[in-house]
Each structure stands twice: as C-alpha cells, then as structure tokens.
Chains A and B, each alone.
Chain A
Amino acid sequence: MKDYRIIFEKKGISKYISHLDLNRCMIRAIRRSGLPAWYTEGFHPHLYLMFPLALSLGTESICEVMDFRLTEELPPEEILEKLNSALPDGLHAVSVGEPHMQATDITAAEYLVKLSAPEIPDLKSVLENFLNQPEILIQKKTKKGLKEIDIKPMLTIKNIDMQEQNLFLTAILPAGNDGNLNINVLTDAFQNYADKPIFIKSACRTKIFSENYQDFF
C-alpha cells in the first residue's frame, strides 16, 4: 500500500466540472486506468480519494492536488501515463509523488486572471483605484442571511500587467481550512465597481501555498 499525491491541471471545459462531480469523474478515471487502487475496508468499500483544496466552478488550474492510494508501489511515469489515458479533455496529471504536507497546512493560493473591457480605455488604473480603496466590501451569504465583509485585508496583489487589450492580474488569496476566498469573489466585486462591462476572460489557480508561501507538496 502506497500513498500518492497527483498534481493535475483542470483547464478548458473541465473547469465546468463541479467539485462533487470531479470526485466521481476521478474515481471512474482511476478505475478505467487499470491502476491498482486501494479501497476502504468494511461493508461498503469505496475507492479512497482526497482533494485537499476545492476549486470553484469556472476557475481553471494548473496545480490541483489529489491524493489516493495504490495497493502497490509503481513507477511515477506509469501512474501518470495510465491515469492520463483515462482522463477527459482538460484534466491532465502533471506530476506524482508522495504527499509531504497535510491538507490543513494549506494557507493560500495564487491566481492569474485575464480581464478585458473594450469600453474602458484605462482598465489598469480603474483596477488600481478599485484595489486602493480603503475597504473592498462584498456581500457574503451566511446562515443568517447576507453579511457585509471587507476583503481588502485578505488580498495580496503580486502583479498587474496590461498586454494589448488584456489586463493580467496576479493575486494571492487565503485558502484552506482557516479561511478561503474564491477568486471570483474578487472579480465579481471589481465588475460591480466599474460602471462599464468588464469581461473575465479566464481565471486560473497557479499555485497552492502552505505557511510562509512555501509551495504545498
């Protein structure tokens, strides 16, 4: 029995697969791949599979993490090859190794967003003004109804770059058990802020961090 951690991409139409559906999709892919998956014991055995960090629907990623167990040790290339031959378009395993950290170690994630707004001539400064507000308030749904929260303290902006018609924003947001902010919350807030339409052309998770921005692995 051996634990493995897969890093995989979720791109293209696979970004429309919800987290719950991704779980079913991966179980079937592993079963199709012919890899000797490990099943839980007991009356209703099921294939052991764990995603340390969920990804919201519509966001792409180049760094998703999935943990599972095989009944025997296999060369990493073989695992990747077998799994990739069974994955649908857009899902692609890039590396496999032993898990070193725990899901609870995750603290943040980095995203790259591509935006455009044909009706806004200086999109970059609009975004900067938006980010420079004293607070950035959003409505959050809670059990007791809508609650207003300020997301400004949660944001770390790494880069803003205009290339031709497109604006690229790199941001680090809290992720994991101790607080999680989805990238679309930020982009929604920006769309609401601007008085002209802004198009989110893509949003992609590029890194997952543990403490002190160390890569989660």
Chain B
Amino acid sequence: MLNPAIEAHLLDVQKPSRYTGGEIGQIVKDKSDIAVRFAFCFPDIYDVGMSHLGMKILYSLINERENYWCERVFAPWPDMEEIMRQEHILLYALESGDEIRNFDFIGFTLQYEMSYTNILNMLDLAGVPVLQKDRGEQIFPLVVGGGPCACNPEPIADFFDLFILGEGEEVNLELMDLYHKMHQEHASRSEFLKAAAQIEGIYVPSLYETAYHPDGTVKSITPLEHAPEKITKRVITDMNQVYYPEQVVIPFIEPIHDRVSVEVLRGCIRGCRFCQAGFLYRPFREKSAETVCRQGVALCENSGYDELSLSSLSTSDHSQIEQILDKLLEYTEQEHVNLSLPSLRIDNFSKSVLDKVTTIRKSGLTFAPEAGTQRLRDVINKNVTEEEVMRTCKIAFEGGYTTVKLYFMMGLPTETDEDIIGIADLAQKVVNLFYDMPDRAKGKLQVSISTATFVPKPFTPFEFEPQTEKAEILRKQQILKKAIKSKKIKASMHISDVSQMEAVLARGDRRICSVIYDAWKSGCKLDSWEEFFDASRWYAAFEKNHLDPSFYANRTRSYEELMPWDHIDYLVSKKFLIWENQKAHAAQTTPPCREYCAGCGANQCLGRPCF
C-alpha cells in the first residue's frame, strides 16, 4: 500500500518505481494474521539490493511461515531522502507501506563495509535510535545484522542488538521463534537478548566488554551474563535440503544484475589467500546437478526472465558442471534463455561449452590473474599459471574475440617493483600471442588491465598484513604506466581513499563505532558511490575521536595479537591462518581442497572430511 504522502512526490524523483512496491512476486499478507514482522533492509539503493541473492533467499524463507511476514526496505536515493526528511515521512517497507519502526525485526544485510553509514542513515530515517543503548527496554524493534561483514561486527557493534553469524536459513527462524515466544511473555529487550545469545550463531555485542592495551591493541574481550566465550557461525550442511526460492520479486526498473540466479555451491576449494569469501564460506558444499537444474528451470518459468545465472564463488569447480550445463542448455536454448556463469574459470572448459556461455559472448573475455609474476601468484595462492592465461586467450582469439580484460591487485604482501612490471609483461605477452596468430580475428585487439588496491580482511591468511599506503600505490602505478609499451594495452588505475577506509572498517575494533557515527553525522552516506564518498569527512571523524586510520589499515599485526574478532569463530582456525601466512611469505602454494586437505578446521561442522 503506497502512502499518499509518498505518492504526492513520486514524479519529482528519479525511477519512482524504486519506492512503490507492487512488483510481481512480492508477498503481501493480512496484518491481522501476523505474529512477527521482519523488515529486511539492504543498506544501499533498490537497484543494488534487488540484485542480491541472499535477500531473495531469506525473504522467501521467512514468508513461507504463515504468521511471519518479511518485507523489503532499501536506502532512498538522495532526491527521495530529501523529500522524506522535509515531509517527515518515515522509512517504510515496500510491501505494506508501513513504517518499519513498529516492526519486530529490522534486519540489515552486511555485504560490504562501505555501506555502514547507510545503516545509520536508514535507522535515522526510520525514526529508530541509531545507538543500541538508546533503544530502551521495549523488545521491538530489534536491529539485527548478518552477511559476510558480520564476521567482524565490532566497528558497528554499537548500532546493533545482535548479529547472525554464518548462513541464515535455519538460525533466522530459530531467532524469530524465540522472539515470538518471549514477546508473548512480555519480555524486555535485554531479557530477550540474553536468551538469544544462547542460540548458536547469535552474537549480542552488548554482552561483551572490550579492554585495550596502552598501545591501542585489544587486550581482552569478556563475555557478560553467561554469554558464550566463542560465537560460532552457522552452517547448512546439506545443500540439497536447504530452502531455495523458486519465485522471486521481479523489479520494474532494471537492477544491477537483471536475471534470476541459482546458487550451485557454497564455499570454494581454491584457497586464494586474499579472498575473504573463500574462507568465510568454507567448507565446500554443492547442490546436486538435479537440484540445480530443477531450481533453474522453475525460476525461469515463474519469473519470465530470459537470463539465468549459475552463481557461486567458482561455478566451474562443481563436480558435475558439464552435466549441469548440458542439461540446462537443452532447456535454455529451447526457451530462449541466456545462461550466464559469472564466476567461470575458463581454463578447464572445452571450446564448445565456452561458445555457449553468455558471460563470454557478451562482454569479451575477463581473466583475473591478480598478480603479475608467478612468484607473487604463489604468494597469494592464486592457482593460475601464465600458460593457462595464454591457452585461454588463444582459444578466445581463435573464437574471434578481440578484447581481453585482465584484473590485478596492487599492494599485495611481499610485492616488489618486479611484480608490478610483470603485470605489463603479461599483458604484452597476450598482445604478442594475438599478433603471432596467422589466422587471428580481424577486429582491433584491446587488452585492458585493471588494478585495485589490496584490502586485507579478517579470517584470511592476510589478516595480519599491512595495507600499502596510498603514496606507495601511486608510485607503483607510475611504474606500471612506464612499463606498458604497447598502445593495445589500456590500463585503468583507480586510486581513492576508499580502500583505506574499507581496510579500517574491515579490521576495526569497537572504537571505530564512534568514527562511523561522527562520519555519518557530518554527512557521509552512500560511500560506495564515488560521487558521494568524501574522504575529508572521514578523516575529520578519526581526528575527533583521536584515532589513526593507519593504526588499523597500515600496521603489521603480530600472530600473537588479539584481533578484535578473535571471539568469533568461522571454523577456520587461527593456527591455520598463521600457517598459511607463513607459507605465503615463503611463496609456497596450498593445493585446492579437493586434491588435498590442508586442515583448516572447517570440516568440523560436517563431522567428516570435506571430500
């Protein structure tokens, strides 16, 4: 139900259907039958949030329960925010149009650090106290968070009642059931939180006290009120049994990813040392080919979409990928559906399959060697060899492709100038390969290089590593520029203070909460949008709180240091991370999990070896 106050202004804002609801697939229930209402908030605008798979899963999952109702909420674009603030319109849920401050749960999905100020802004727009301690004893609304960034929730601990660690399919409902019961018993907020802290995977930050050493590092994190000392993430062990929606909400406007997706597997066997997702989602679990195909077909049929994506961290590592593709292609070709594989490792594919897959057909060939030399690729455990890059490019060139995009990181641990020059060399070899081919495609060759600044993340072997300072990155960019000789190579080297902020927020402790608060107060929001990010406001917020961003981002942390997230257990042991860090410094690789178990500890949830 659209609020008339909103409707009166819809023609004054861009893309008004961001704010109307009413899409096919949305779930509307009769309020009088509902016991628990959940506002699922994506802390960014509609266009971004509606592309997000996790939201689709939890939305449908909660709504399967007759007396629970989950609705969607997004951050308004500034044009709409201005109207809302002027007209005193509080943030509402799209399905009912009701203000979310009266909901039982306000849940945020934490997908990237630079969305944190949006959380504060959305709470404020909703008329909910931004700080947890100001919310009083009324049990609702409970502000909860989950998603990958919940692995280090300390920098946003002051704003949340609780965090849900790991995969939410089971624990979300357990939490709502507990709430349902305690709400009927008229429990207070703190009583509820104490009880919720006993559920595995629930972290209640207000029940933990952090003490610091004089040098600013964390001294201790102490649980209060019988809260558990370690909070362990939740894992779904059987991917074929886990709930997966076969109907999704279909936006009117075009979201960033305009398609339906089937999740084919969770986790990753590769163990790239920079990749947080690769460690957070361990262990590797896959859906059967039959499940993937059934869900994919159902999603296409129920939605009418003509693009289906097979999504995961590394879809080609599915043990039955050829069968899945064969079977799905039979359907998709018949029904005029494009099949896309966003995270494809093309090296292990036959050309006939390659031809059929749209990611490649549409956007040219992309490849992420991440580092310029074999030595550095060994350090980061990126199992891609130069030969593989060349072999794939050759297949692509033979197939008529003339654009190749190569992705790299800059500022990786142990990186030298030689590694930077190696980036240019690798691109040059691709250029040479093209011109050495007698039967090359006609068009104009373009090899583009894109470099991003490396951000060390918690729960990776690089959580101990300093981030390279901006001045040094700038110097390295100059080296790379000079090393590029061919006009066929285009380098896009972006530098911004965003990556330092990301590094601080990723590995920050609880004191960062007041920095985020002050940054937001001074006007920071939509920080992941280049046009809105304002570094000076962030630096001012650090100064005001007498904190130094480089303490968090650019300092080497010892193996003994207590990390702000060390009371949180993502099953991968710290001992393993230290060991992997040492191997990195010795440029030793660790083989993929399927070949050899390196003993990270993630299989404890399965009670058996992963493979």
Contacts and interface: CB of A to CB of B under 8 A. Distances in A.
B250 A28 contact: yes
Contact of B304 (A14, A21, A32): A32
B408 to A, nearest CB: 32
Contacts of B23: 88
A21 B22 contact: no
A47 B336 contact: yes
A175 interface: no
B252 A25 contact: yes
B306 A16 contact: no
Nearest to B8: A199
B275 to A, nearest CB: 34
A45 B336 contact: yes
B222 interface: no
Contacts of A31: 304-306
A32 B247 CA distance: 12
A76 interface: no
B11 interface: yes
A100 to B, nearest CB: 29
A12 B17 CA distance: 12
A39 interface: yes
B17 A16 contact: yes
A58 B10 contact: yes
A90 B17 CA distance: 13
Contact of A21 (B10, B254, B302): B254
Contacts of B177: none
A41 to B, nearest CB: 12
A20 B11 CA distance: 16
Contacts of A46: 336
A47 B304 CA distance: 12
B362 to A, nearest CB: 10
A45 to B, nearest CB: 6
Interface string A16-59: 11101100110111111000000100000111000000000110
Given A17-B17, A88-B23, A89-B22, A24 B303 contact: no
A57 B254 contact: no
A27 B17 contact: no
Interface string A128-151: 000000000000000000000000
Contacts of A127: none
A14 B10 CA distance: 12
B147 interface: no
Q: Which 4 A-B pairs have the closest CB atoms?
A: A28-B304, A31-B304, A32-B304, A16-B16
22 contacts: A13-B2, A13-B20, A13-B21, A16-B17, A16-B252, A20-B254, A21-B252, A27-B304, A28-B24, A28-B304, A30-B304, A32-B301, A32-B302, A32-B303, A47-B306, A57-B16, A58-B10, A58-B11, A86-B304, A88-B22, A88-B23, A89-B22
Interface of B: 2, 10-11, 15-17, 20-24, 250, 252-254, 258, 301-306, 336
